[in-house]
Amino acid sequence: MKDLMGKAIWDYYHNENPEDLQTETSISELDELPVEYLFRDFEEMNEVEQKALESAEGKVLDIGAGAGSHSLYLQNERNLDVLALDISPKSIEICKLRGIKKAVCENMLDFSGETFDTVLLLMNGTGIFQSLSKIDTYLQKLYTLLNENGQILIDGTDILYMFDRDEDGGVYIPAGGYYGELDYVVHYKEESEDPIKWLYLDFTTLQKAAENNGFTIEKVVQDEDAYLAKLTKK
Tell me how far apart the alpha carbons of residues 103 and 212 are, in angstroms, rounded to a whole number: 31
Alpha-carbon torsion (175, 177, 178, 183), positive or negative: negative
Which helix (H) or strand (E) segment holds residue 136: the answer is helix 135-145
* Superfamily designation of domain 4-161+172-233: Vaccinia Virus protein VP39 (3.40.50.150)
Contact 83, 103 (CB under 8 A): yes
Q: How far apart are CA 144 and CA 123, in angstroms?
A: 22
Specify the pLDDT at position 165: 61
Render pLDDT for 90-149 as a digit per residue (tens, 0 to 9). Answer: 999 999 999 999 999 999 999 999 999 999 999 999 999 999 999 999 999 999 999 999
pTM of the model: 0.93
pLDDT confidence bin for 210, thresholds 50/70/90: very high
Tally DSSP H helices, then E strands, for the chain.
6, 12
